[in-house]
Structure 1
Amino acid sequence: MFQPRIALRGIRLPFRCLPSVPSVPARRFASVINELETPPANSSTSSIDPTASFAPPPTRDSAGVVLRTYTPRTPGVRHLRRPVNDHLWKGRPVHRLTFPKKGHAKGGRNNTGRVTVRHMGGGHKRRIRTVDFLRMDAGPHLVERVEYDPGRTAHIALLRSKETSKLSYILAADGMRAGETVQSYMAGIPEDLWKSMGGTVDPGVLAARTAWRGNCLPLHMIPVGTPMFNVGLRAGKGGQLCRSAGTYATVVAKGSGSRQTAIEPDQSNPEEPETEKKPLSQRERQKQERLAQHITVRLSSGETRLLHKDCCATIGVASNPNYHYTQLGKAGRSRWLNIRPTVRGLAMNAMDHPHGGGRGKSKGNVDPKSPWGIPTKSGYKTRPKWKINKAVVVPRPRNQGKRRRGYN
């Protein structure tokens, strides 16, 4: 019969004559691997000054992708891989900042009971965290801890206001740790920053004092080329873009603040004759006004958008950037995440899918279709509507046929 394992770490025996058993190193069933290079033995800790009014900029290290693998004691952990996030809070969230997820998990069904979203159902019991995406509260905020959020891929950070001691959750930036201080400038520039700039806006000083990791700024205060996440779509509304793990956007260009109504002649050289120039048209004036009020932003997908200059954004990259390297390891772990199995149409019956039926692996010589008969793939969704299922008649050019002997 097998003897049960006993943890001998720091056990004190009841006998006074015997010394305590020395601590035995714990048996580890998980290991950390680096897919690019092996991390150094003595890793330097992050030098963060908690007394600073803002957090330091993000560090660029060449550590690569660090994942945790497990000893295959069961088939479910043989292929299990997870990113290393040892800095996360191990306890429960703040209860008053959450509410139960009731009525949401309906298995992808609508009010009539029909499945409108496939591959959804089940999942673990959850509480939804209320995250502040707008961050209108001014003043410095202390990062109490960084937590795991089951409702999103990125992590969240618990903030405590140094002025009001109010608690709130925000999206955590990559590299954010407990003890840092972040600030929001959505309500305006604070008085001490105005005095340090001499009462006028100095772009260099303003960027050096505000564009730090975790700070929330309007788009017109963010320097060009700065990575940011949690970007808003409308002024006065919270962030809606780049909120998943590892995503970020970049400020590409800013419009000039001056609006030109008409082009006046140059008065610097009076010797040259004055030439009347054509005033701007209404469309050109509208274009200049739109560029003056909007910022050009490039998203992670490569899409370029014009966003209003008063939209909010957080400096940095969304936390947990190695999330897409995760391997669940078993089907049950997908069911815990509210994901049901995905069955191929080829493996179904003829009544369940257009690709189903037949003997063996055959879809009946039909074009790729969805379960509802809509053509898929081959650029069907990306072609214009006038090109879909339209017969294009190409006229045959003249004098291109085969010449006969004896005819010119």
Structure 2
Amino acid sequence: MLAGSSISRLLGRSYRSASNVSTFRVFGALTATNPAVNRIPPRARLYATITEDPTPIPISTFESPFAKPPDRSEETVRMRTYKPRTPGVRHLRRPVNEHLWKGKPHGPLTIPRKGHGLGGRNNSGRVTVRHRGGGHKRRIRMVDFSRVKPGPHVVDRIEYDPNRSAHIALITRQSNGDKSYILAADGLRAGDKVQSYRAGVPEDLLASMGGVIDPGMLAAKTAWRGNCLPLRYIPIGAVIHAVGTMVNGPAKFCRAAGTYATVVAKDESRGFAIVRLQSGEVRRFMIDAPATVGVVSNGTWRHRQLGKAGRSRWLGIRPTVRGVAMNACDHPHGGGRGKSKGNRHPVSPWGIPTKSGYKTRKVGKKNPWVVTERPRGKEKKEKL
């Protein structure tokens, strides 16, 4: 005879199997009559929460009454945090960028990133930059930093670029349909229109001003985020990025995420524009050099936390080991009993002084383009 526990187990097994069969039959009948049931709704991220920091993102306060994109200046720093289901997501914080394109980049504007300084090596194979190597496979997006093509362009989408901290925008030229990548200004979204005035003022815009260029009216009609134009046409006090150094050259300054510069003054008689950079340096630029109005996108990039060492390896960053943690044969600070570098000034692995070591700036040879140098050392500490 079977014991009581054995009978209960058999009965429970048969009950569960019968219930599963009945459930399958009912669900099959529903899906046959209603095909919409086949579409399983996506599961919500119950392990991720979005936190908002009331600290506003520093963006341009310059307002233009002509063809201005929607005002998004009240956006706050939104970060996504995760439940610590694994050690790698305990400290993970990622910015919320729901407006980014989810698909692949525009293929004709990309090239494979192979042999482009991978591993921190130069053309002879020697390591010139340490702590580089590995990382995920990438494709280089060919970003147009010159923006010499005139005419209105429509923003198709905002994309993530793994090769830079800022986001990029895919734009289409309305006259012939040419596509190109540009640095996305903060607040730029799909559907907005941007234009480059490097080739000169269009005839229709000149006719609206009565055939004569009015600086105030021109600034009001052209100087809003995403437009590229010479510094001559940008009003004083405007916030700019992607600033070039030459009249026909590409953008060189303020290209990282969240960076910007401010136009301080203009000296048209001498052909210079005075611009203050974020570092505190005041610098001269040629008055016809290009600049883009606004702040570089992805200003929340500096608030991110990778959460684990593996994410650094995905980015191509290898570990950095302190010299005092090495042996004496590997570093001048290594060896000894306990944490000690032997009462020696900080040096590199090859004995070159670091941290106020060898001075490399030539005394008396000032940069003629710099009006006021950025604060260094004690001046910088007092500023902070």
TM-score > 0.5 by shorter chain: yes
C-alpha distance after superposition, 1:136-182 (max 9, x if no partner): 11111000000000110000000011111110100000010000011
2:49 alignment partner in structure 1: 31
The 5 Å alignment of 1:299-318 reads: 299-318=277-296
Q: Secondary structure at the match of 1:136?
A: coil
C-alpha distance after superposition, 1:41-96 (max 9, x if no partner): xxxxxxxxxxx9844375431x4321111122211111111111000000001110
C-alpha distance after superposition, 1:322-380 (max 9, x if no partner): 10111001111101101000000110111221111111111111111122212222476
Q: TM-score, normalised by structure 1?
A: 0.75
Residue 94 (1) aligns with residue 106 (2): yes
2:191 alignment partner in structure 1: 179
Determine which structure has more spread, i.e. the larger CA radius of gyration.
1
Q: Secondary structure at the match of 2:345?
A: coil
- Quote the Cα distance in structure 1 between the aligned partners of 2:191 and 2:284: 35
- Quote the Cα distance in structure 2 between the aligned partners of 1:328 and 1:318: 22
1:187–1:207 CA distance, 2 compared to 1 (3 A): same
Q: Which of residues 334, 342, 349 is equivalent to 1:356?
A: 334
Residue 80 (1) aligns with residue 98 (2): no
RMSD: 2.6
Q: Secondary structure at the match of 2:54?
A: coil
Deviation at 1:201, TM superposition (A): 1.4
- Quote the Cα distance in structure 1 between the aligned partners of 2:324 and 2:363: 28
What is the percentage of aligned positions where both structures have the same residue? 61
Q: Secondary structure at the match of 2:99?
A: coil
Asked if the contact 1:58/1:316 (under 8 Å) is kept, the reply is no
Tell which deviates more after alignment, 18-27 or 370-379: 18-27
1:74–1:187 CA distance, 2 compared to 1 (3 A): same
The 5 Å alignment of 1:181-260 reads: 181-257=193-269
Deviation at 1:384, TM superposition (A): 7.6
Deviation at 1:191, TM superposition (A): 0.4
- Quote the Cα distance in structure 1 between the aligned partners of 2:216 and 2:144: 29
Deviation at 1:307, TM superposition (A): 0.6
Asked if the contact 1:54/1:180 (under 8 Å) is kept, the reply is no
Residue 118 (1) aligns with residue 130 (2): yes
1:16 alignment partner in structure 2: 33
C-alpha distance after superposition, 1:182-203 (max 9, x if no partner): 1110010000111111111111
- Quote the Cα distance in structure 1 between the aligned partners of 2:204 and 2:37: 58
Asked if the contact 1:34/1:65 (under 8 Å) is kept, the reply is yes
By percentage of residues, which structure has more helix? 2
1:197–1:164 CA distance, 2 compared to 1 (3 A): same
C-alpha distance after superposition, 1:190-242 (max 9, x if no partner): 00111111111111210110001100000111000100111001110110100
Residue 293 (1) aligns with residue 271 (2): yes
The 5 Å alignment of 1:36-47 reads: 36=54
Q: TM-score, normalised by structure 2?
A: 0.80
1:116–1:166 CA distance, 2 compared to 1 (3 A): same
2:3 alignment partner in structure 1: none
Amino acid at match of 1:294: F
C-alpha distance after superposition, 1:272-323 (max 9, x if no partner): xxxxxxxxxxxxxxxxxxxx21110111111111110111111000000010
Amino acid at match of 1:238: P
1:329 alignment partner in structure 2: 307
C-alpha distance after superposition, 1:94-119 (max 9, x if no partner): 11000111111431123443321101
Gap runs ≥5 in structure 1: 1-10, 39-51, 258-291, 387-408
- Quote the Cα distance in structure 2 between the aligned partners of 1:104 and 1:24: 43
1:130–1:53 CA distance, 2 compared to 1 (3 A): farther
Q: Secondary structure at the match of 1:65?
A: strand
1:103–1:18 CA distance, 2 compared to 1 (3 A): closer
Amino acid at match of 1:331: A
- Quote the Cα distance in structure 1 between the aligned partners of 2:34 and 2:296: 57
- Quote the Cα distance in structure 2 between the aligned partners of 1:299 and 1:368: 31
Asked if the contact 2:73/2:187 (under 8 Å) is kept, the reply is no
Deviation at 1:12, TM superposition (A): 9.3
- Quote the Cα distance in structure 2 between the aligned partners of 1:180 and 1:32: 27
1:60–1:14 CA distance, 2 compared to 1 (3 A): closer
Q: Secondary structure at the match of 2:81?
A: strand
Asked if the contact 1:13/1:19 (under 8 Å) is kept, the reply is no
Q: Secondary structure at the match of 1:335?
A: helix
Count of residues in Structure 1 that have an aligned counterpart in Structure 2? 328
- Quote the Cα distance in structure 2 between the aligned partners of 1:225 and 1:57: 21
Over 6 Å off, 4+ runs: 21-25, 382-386
Residue 151 (1) aligns with residue 163 (2): yes
- Quote the Cα distance in structure 2 between the aligned partners of 1:381 and 1:18: 75
Asked if the contact 1:108/1:115 (under 8 Å) is kept, the reply is yes
